[in-house]
Amino acid sequence: MQRLFAIPVAAPFFFIFGIAYSQLGYAYLQRGSFQYTPQGGIPRIISPTTNPAVYWSVSAGMLAVGAVCLLLSAYSVVCLVQTYRAKGAGQFRPRAFGIVMFGLGILGGGVVSLL
């Protein structure tokens, strides 16, 4: 597991998504409601008075996922530093970015720009 989080792209990836999800969850909690439009249906307002289970699970769930992503980001930084120290400064070379990681970075940047 430590090798998985020791790649250099893990920390910024989790950090960006952690900030985005926690910001959305906090905004839903602060606003007090959000609009939900089912496919082919009429829009509904989800709030603590109309549908409390959905409101609290979505808003608190997004906030919790954001917090977990931020914690994983911090853990991946620790793993990266430990890997760097274990291999020595002269021998450590981060793995090259693959096409999948490049695609995830583009996707993450697009999600953050939509916020």
Q: What pTM was computed for the model? A: 0.65
The CA R_g of the chain, rounded to the nearest whole Å, is: 19
Residue-level pLDDT at 28: 86
Which tops the pLDDT comparison, 36 or 10?
Answer: 36
DSSP 8-state code for residue 49: T
pLDDT band of residue 111 (cuts 50, 70, 90) is low
pLDDT band of residue 115 (cuts 50, 70, 90) is very low
Residue type, 20: A
Q: Where are the domains of the chain?
A: 2-114
Residue 1 has pLDDT above 70, yes or no: no
Does residue 66 contact residue 21 with C-beta atoms inside 8 Å? yes
| Angle at alpha carbon of residue 19, lines to 13 and 23, rounded to 5° | 150
Does residue 66 contact residue 27 with C-beta atoms inside 8 Å? no
Q: How far is CA 86 from CA 38, 89, 94, in A?
A: 52, 9, 13
Q: Tell me the per-residue pLDDT of 73-99, one tens digit each, with 9 for 90 and over.
A: 888 877 777 776 766 555 555 555 566
For residue 7, report the phi and psi dihedrals to the nearest 5 degrees. Answer: -80, 145
Residue 102 has pLDDT above 70, yes or no: no
- Angle in degrees, 0-180, between the axes of helices 10-31 and 99-114, rounded to the nearest 10: 20
| Angle at alpha carbon of residue 18, lines to 83 and 51, rounded to 5° | 150
Q: What is the mean pLDDT of residues 22-30?
A: 87
Q: Tell me the per-residue pLDDT of 37-77, one tens digit each, with 9 for 90 and over.
A: 888 889 988 888 988 898 888 888 888 988 988 888 888 87
Residue-level pLDDT at 81: 76
